[in-house]
Amino acid sequence: MDNPLISIIIPVYNAGEHLKKCLDSVIHQTWRNLEILLIDDGSTDGSGDLCDEYAAGDKRITCLHQVNSGVSKARNAGIRLAKGDYYHFLDGDDYIEEDTCEYLLHLIRAHGCEVINFEYYITYPDKEDVHCLRGDQYGLFQTAEAHRITLTGEPFVWNKLFSRDVIKGENESDPVFFREDLSRGEDSFFAHQVIERAKTVWFDKRPLYHYVQSKNSAVRGEFRASQLSALKLYGAYQQLYQIDYPELYPIFLKKMGHLLISIYFDMWSDQRDYGREQEEVYKYFTKYGLQKICPGQLSLKDKFKFSLFSLSPGLFCRLHTFLHKRK
């Protein structure tokens, strides 16, 4: 392919002041052969109007408006519309470096892989950090090791470029879609489904994506019942980690343990009656928690955290709150 088309799929929901910078970073890419798909997920802050304004001024942009249905349904709408040779998912409140697409195509040509994973900036209002893997986790990897690196350090969908074939299948006959019943971890699950179809994945150390944090990003958000959909991840990953890659299953359980503790703490901090929901989260933690994870997978800090939570979730939450107030 001398002039491959890249489809950039951007779900937009009340992106506010960040959306213009996001869209400008795309339309000014040094690689011009782009298909830009804006999926407005029922925005109420004027973001949808801004999408229409950009679409009117750039023939590469298609704007679709839908009733608010969640980011997965918006991304799936983009997948159905996309005609590109490669797909990138960009969130409407983030932005990318000006030569991102050109650089990624260079890597595709150089390494002949179906998926590119690249690093990202964590962009705060007053500073910017760079996410980094270990040095030996960059380079070209086959499927099993690509799963491991993605699981442990690169779980997002927005810092990747995917070939059309690994998403839509040969002749677009077997597409992978985001699970619309998941509101937590849906992007990671999608990434693993697609990586499973790839023979090789290139992990690149250059940061290209700006993962924007608002002033309130570091503050715990209010618990939402939809977060409990994360419990479905145990069943979703069963084939992949218990059967196909059993060596990765303990690592998956460790990550899920941290996630369940976080969800429980959100409920506890809201100081509302989440008795039934808390019991459900604790039930899953005790079923898949400490006793299922190989001892070598846990640091001393993790062992203490998991053991205390298993013994008394309420005591863990009080101690966690106390220690963070002292910082």
Domain-embedded: residue 166: yes
The tokens of 83 are what? Answer: 């005609």
pLDDT of residue 288 exceeding 70? yes
Of 212, 243, 275, the last residue of a domain is 212
Do 118 and 207 contact (CB within 8 A), yes or no?
yes
Same domain? 251 vs 142: no
Q: What is the pLDDT of residues 66-93, one digit of tens each?
A: 999 999 999 999 999 999 999 999 999 9
The whole-number average pLDDT for the span 147-158 is 95
Whether 108 and 23 map to the same domain: the answer is yes
Which H/E stretch holds residue 212?
strand 200-212
| Residue 71 domain-assigned (yes or no) | yes
pLDDT at 55: 98
The residue among 104, 151, 147, 117 whose CA lies nearest residue 259 is 151
Same domain? 112 vs 44: yes
- Model confidence at 261, pLDDT cuts 50, 70, 90, reads very high
Rounded to an integer, the average pLDDT of 271-291 is: 89
Give the model's pLDDT for residue 113. Answer: 97
What sign does the CA torsion over 310, 314, 315, 316 have? positive
Residues 160 and 283 in one domain: no
DSSP-assigned letters across all residues of 18-57? GHHHHHHHHHT-S---EEEEEEEES-SSSHHHHHHHHHHH
| Helix 300-311 vs helix 249-270: crossing angle, to nearest 10 | 50
Q: What is the mean pLDDT of residues 103-128?
A: 96
Q: Which two tokens stand for residue 57?
A: 């001024």
Q: Which domain holds residue 118?
A: 6-212
For 300-315, what is each residue's pLDDT tens digit?
A: 898 899 999 999 999 9
Split at pLDDT 50, 70, 90, the class of 110 is: very high
For residue 327, what pLDDT is reported? 52
Tell me how long the chain is.
Answer: 327
Confidence band for 325, pLDDT divided at 50, 70 and 90: confident
CA dihedral 144, 157, 172, 68 (to 10 degrees): 140
Q: What is the pLDDT of residue 217?
A: 46
Instruction: Give the CA angle between residues 184, 190, 193 to the nearest 5°.
Output: 135
- Asked whether the predicted pLDDT for residue 157 surpasses 50, the reply is yes
Are both 23 and 141 inside the same structural domain? yes
Q: Supply the pLDDT for residue 160.
A: 98
Domain membership flag for residue 217: no
Residue 299's pLDDT band, with cuts at 50, 70 and 90, is confident
Q: pLDDT tens across 171-191, in order? A: 888 999 999 999 989 999 999
d(CA 143, CA 133): 18
Which of 212, 239, 268 marks a domain boundary? Answer: 212
Predicted confidence band at 245 (pLDDT cuts at 50, 70, 90)?
very high
- Assess if residue 218 is contained within a domain: no
| CA atoms of 131 and 153, how far apart (whole Å) | 9
- How far is it, in rounded angstroms, from Cα 14 to Cα 22? 13
Decide if 31 contacts 88 (C-beta within 8 A). no
Say if residue 175 is in the same domain as residue 241.
no
Q: Is residue 242 part of a domain?
A: yes
Whether the predicted pLDDT of 292 surpasses 90:
no
191 and 245 housed in the same domain: no
Average pLDDT for the chain: 93
Are 283 and 142 members of one domain?
no
**What local confidence, expressed as pLDDT, does residue 216 receive?**
43
- Residue 295: the pLDDT is 60
Query: At 199, which CATH number?
Result: 3.90.550.10
Q: Are residues 235 and 103 in the same domain?
A: no
Identify whether 1 is part of a domain. no
Q: Are 229 and 208 in a shared domain? A: no
Single residue among 177, 212, 247 that ends a domain in this structure: 212
Contact 184, 227 (CB under 8 A): yes
User: Per the domain annotation, does 138 fall within a domain?
Assistant: yes
pLDDT at 215: 53
Q: Is 256 in contact with 234 (CB distance < 8 Å)?
A: yes
pLDDT tier, 291 (very low <50, low <70, confident <90, very high otherwise):
low
Asked, for residue 220, whether it belongs to a domain, the answer is: no
pLDDT at 169 over 50: yes
- The predicted model gives 245-271 an average pLDDT of 92
Amino acid at 24: D
Q: Are residues 141 and 194 in the same domain?
A: yes
Q: What is the pLDDT of residue 271?
A: 83
101 and 229 share a domain?
no
Total of domains in the chain: 2
The whole-number average pLDDT for the span 44-53 is 97
pLDDT at 56 over 80: yes
pLDDT, tens only, 202-229: 999 999 999 999 754 444 456 888 899 9
